[in-house]
Amino acid sequence: MADGLTNPHLSDFRTPGRGNGILDIFTKRYLLKVLVKKDVSTRYRNSIFGWLWSYAKPLAQFLVYFLVIGIILQMDRGVDNFPVYLFSGLVVVNLFNEAFNNATRSIVGNKALVRKIYLPRELFPVSTVIVAFVHFLPQVVILILAALLYGWVPSLLGIVAALVGMLLITLFSTGLGLLFGALNVAYRDAQNFVEIIRTFSTWSAPVLYSWDMLAHRAPDWLFHIYMSNPLTASVELFHYAFWFDTSDGSLATPPLLLIYVAVAFVIAIASIFIGQFVFRRFERNFAQDL
Amino acid sequence: MTMTDTRPSIIVDNVRKTFLIRHSHSMKEAVIGKIRGRKVGSTPFQALDEVSFTVNEGESVAILGHNGSGKSTMLKLISGVLEPNAGRILVRGRLAGLIEVGAGFHPDLSGRENVYLNAAILGMTEKETDERFDDIVDFSGIREFIDQEVKHYSSGMFMRLAFSVAIHTELDVLLVDEILSVGDAPFREKCNQKIRELSDAGKTMVVVSHSVGTVRELCTRGIVLRKGKKIFDGPIEEALEVHKAKNK
């Protein structure tokens, strides 16, 4: 038998349960599409307001932050057109939180399937990230309407910046989602840890305050790390895309933003490699650990 | 053997599968267990031990054994759901499993949507599903309910549709695990008929079942497992004898 296994005529054999990892999202496009469709169409089943919740939730969140941070803590005076500033950052963080959270729970949530049928398991976290992205789009629509109200004129560069920001968040949350989604199967502690990361995420990026407040206080090295956080980079890209042109220009776009974005991309792509590596290591035990 | 080509479809080579049975599920439990002098950590359980066999294309093989003998584990290893700790498994062609057929169903979706969802999960393309959709629905015999949400189905209707999707997937190798508890007698007969058709069409089949009748009818060869070890591999009648003998 041992000889037989190296025999070239066995070349059309494959080892069951070994996919191509994250690359299977390209070879199994149809399956991915069906999984996304399932999640999207069952999300608001049995609810009267349905998709309205996708608008209502971010608006409520915006209102709370605007009243507390904007009016009570008077950020409204420090940053021109603060509502647009706030909302354009908020949607980015929401996308990250939603995608990251969904992906972390995706393997455990699809227990029945993972235990019984083999399909490339990377599809679960990836499909939930896509679902999060679908739910993020209504928020972008609100953002665009609000920005137009404040005199925003779409520019090519702005649109590119927004798209780059979205891509960055999607990559980063996919990477982290793969990592924590896999860990969550063996140790449910992971999802609690992710809750904590999500609590930090809103504050770890200049959403409720401006980046220059930190620049004045933090040492240089810390500031550079802060700015290279993929979340911060995306938020600043969104500020640039939707808010900067409507403002009086007193809060400049951070210098070196392009470099920070480049570093953030390296981090996001590294997170995918690390996430995939850990995912693979844990995947062999998914069916028995669930 | 109906096939002239006797290349193997499945190669199982010195496969070992060990499960770790954890005695504690949290740090707290582990600490308390330690203080009370109970066993902490985990003990390995050998589910399959150095099992080797090959299944040739077009062959129908039954895996026989008692509960806990490792036969379902063997099937899960072949399907790729589990990975062996040692040894190798190689398969050729498209694998499909009649294992827990309803696993991919979503109660809030209609029967129609579930057919597409499950066909995709079982590896079918959109085009293949379109082509077979009518066959699937006709086989299940619940066409009038196909656009209703699955949660309103009776358990029998649910299983019929689920089974129908699974049996219509494009496949070369079929893995069957205790399926024939599906639906009522006429539907069971229809299932058996369909499986026999696939077998006659030269599909490779691995069957795990407690039903001597089913196994005798479908398979020509039997592999008997006992406590994770292969103790017999040969013609089905002899395999059933061995299996029965160790019952006593």
Burial (CB count within 10 angstroms: exposed 0-12, middle 13-18, buried 19+), residue A7: exposed
Instruction: Tell me what the pLDDT averaged over chain A comes to.
Output: 89
Q: Is residue B40 part of a domain?
A: no
Between A and B, how many residue pairs show a Cβ–Cβ distance under 8 A? 94
Pull the structure tokens for residue A271: 């997170």
Q: Is residue B30 part of a domain?
A: no
Average pLDDT over residues A240-264: 91
Q: Do A34 and B122 touch (CB under 8 A)?
A: no
| Domain interval for residue A65 | 35-289
Q: Is B248 helix (H, G, I), strand (E, B) or coil?
A: coil
User: So what's the pLDDT on residue A4?
Assistant: 46
| Minimum-distance CB partner of B19 among A5, A115, A288 | A288
* Total domain count, chain B: 1
Chain A residues in contact with B52 (beta carbon < 8 A) = 1
Q: Give the C-alpha separation, B198 to B96, whole Å.
A: 12
| Minimum-distance CB partner of A117 among B19, B81, B125 | B81
DSSP string, A206-252: TTSS-HHHHHHHS-HHHHHHHHHSHHHHHHHHHIIIIIGGGS-SSSP
Q: Is residue A151 part of a domain?
A: yes
- CATH number reported for the structural domain that contains residue B226 in this entry: 3.40.50.300
CA B60 to chain centre: 13
Residue A5: pLDDT over 70: no
User: So what's the pLDDT on residue A257?
Assistant: 92
User: So what's the pLDDT on residue A228?
Assistant: 94
Q: Is residue A23 part of a domain?
A: no
Average pLDDT over residues A181-197: 90
User: So what's the pLDDT on residue A2?
Assistant: 43
Q: Do A1 and B91 touch (CB under 8 A)?
A: no
Q: Is residue B29 part of a domain?
A: no
Average pLDDT over residues A47-60: 83
Question: Is residue A248 very low, low, confident or very high in pLDDT (cuts 50, 70, 90)?
Answer: confident
User: So what's the pLDDT on residue A218?
Assistant: 87
Chain A residues in contact with B109 (beta carbon < 8 A) = 38, 41-42
Task: Name residue, tokens 């895996």.
Answer: B63
Q: Is B48 helix (H, G, I), strand (E, B) or coil?
A: strand
Q: Is residue B34 part of a domain?
A: no
Q: Give the C-alpha separation, B122 to B116, whole Å.
A: 10
For residues A268 and B178, the model is more confident at A268
The answer to whether the CB of B99 falls within 8 A of the CB of A116 is yes
User: Which residue, among A1, A279, A282, would best test binding to B if mutated, counting the most B CBs under 10 Å from its CB?
Assistant: A1
User: So what's the pLDDT on residue A88?
Assistant: 94
Average pLDDT over residues A101-128: 91
User: Would you list which residues of chain B are within 8 Å, Cβ to Cβ, of chain A?
Assistant: 11, 13-14, 19, 52, 76-83, 88-92, 95, 97, 99-100, 103-104, 106, 108-109, 113, 116-117, 120-123, 125-126
Q: Is residue A282 part of a domain?
A: yes
Q: Is residue B122 part of a domain?
A: yes
* Total domain count, chain A: 1
pLDDT (tens, 9 = 90+) of chain B, 248 residues, equals 444 457 889 999 999 998 887 776 777 777 888 888 877 777 888 889 999 999 999 899 999 888 888 888 899 899 888 889 999 999 998 888 877 777 888 888 999 999 999 999 888 899 999 999 999 999 988 899 999 999 999 888 888 898 889 888 888 898 888 666 666 788 888 888 888 888 888 899 998 877 788 788 888 999 999 988 999 999 999 988 888 886 55
ipTM of the complex: 0.85
| Minimum-distance CB partner of A5 among B88, B116, B122 | B88
Q: Is residue B153 part of a domain?
A: yes
| Domain interval for residue B229 | 54-245
Which residues numbered 80-119 in A keep a CB inside 8 Å of some CB on B?
Answer: 112-119
